[in-house]
């Protein structure tokens, strides 16, 4: 039961990973990043998730420690993407969606490791996944494994980069939340997290808040529908 630092964006995946970490580790801290993203309302969702976990899950509350938000505005300044500029979401010339922010997850994990080093936390937990994702190369398991080696060598440390969602789809992510915290956790994630690329908090669907037509909303809606369809009545 060592300590962990969880990358908490305010979305479904990272909130599920935070709940997972709270069942695994005695000390859990959280970190988020403000990089000038269009969907900044996702950052606001972080505080609602943390508050909900503390109030609804008293067995986890004592393990939930400090929360950090780092200013990485320079990443947004050098990125020409649909997540950092006001432009339509589309495929780019290299076949990747223009929501891909080059280097984002590599930078996030590197800064997280620097904080974990100072806080003496061994495990760094993120919601990276290559099962249901948008094709981002820095979400792949190979990338995570390679980065773990680099961070351990470069900091003379023994970090473990945990990715509990790596090989499951969005429906199974909902089921993981149900196994971890029952209906209360599912409802907290459904109602309080935000995964929408446009940061839309004006529309509430069965699966949660969002515009309903961006790739992130589509993945979340599809996964929720599959989760509900397979749940016992």
Q: What does the pLDDT look like over 137-168, one tens digit per residue?
A: 888 999 999 999 999 999 999 999 999 999 99
CATH of the domain at 185: 3.40.50.620
Least confident of 95-99, 102-106, 148-152: 95-99
Number of domains in the chain: 1
State whether the Cα torsion 61-201-167-224 is positive or negative.
Answer: positive
Token digits of residue 48: 């609602």
Can you give the pLDDT at residue 232? 67
Domain that holds residue 180: 3-230
195 close to 208: Cβ distance less than 8 angstroms: yes
């Amino acid at each position: 039961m060592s300590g962990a630092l969880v990358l908490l964006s305010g979305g479904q995946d990272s909130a599920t990973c935070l709940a997972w970490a709270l069942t695994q580790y005695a000390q859990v801290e959280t970190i988020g990043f403000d990089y000038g993203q269009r969907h900044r309302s996702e950052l606001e969702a972080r505080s609602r998730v943390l508050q909900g976990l503390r109030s609804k899950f008293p067995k986890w509350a004592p393990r939930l420690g400090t929360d950090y938000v780092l200013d990485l505005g320079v990443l947004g300044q050098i990125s020409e993407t649909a997540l950092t500029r006001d432009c339509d979401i589309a495929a780019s010339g290299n076949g990747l969606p223009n929501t891909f922010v080059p280097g984002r997850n590599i930078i996030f994990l590197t800064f997280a490791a620097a904080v974990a080093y100072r806080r003496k936390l061994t495990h760094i937990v993120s919601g990276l996944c290559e099962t249901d994702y948008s094709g981002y190369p820095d979400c792949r398991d190979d990338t995570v494994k390679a980065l773990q080696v680099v961070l351990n060598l470069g900091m003379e440390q023994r970090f473990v980069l945990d990715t509990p969602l790596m090989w499951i789809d969005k429906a199974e992510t909902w089921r993981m939340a149900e196994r971890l915290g029952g209906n209360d956790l599912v409802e907290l994630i459904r109602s309080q997290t935000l995964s929408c690329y446009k940061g839309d908090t004006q529309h509430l669907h069965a699966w949660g808040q969002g515009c309903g037509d961006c790739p992130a909303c589509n993945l979340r809606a599809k996964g929720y529908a599959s989760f509900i369809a397979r749940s016992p009545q």
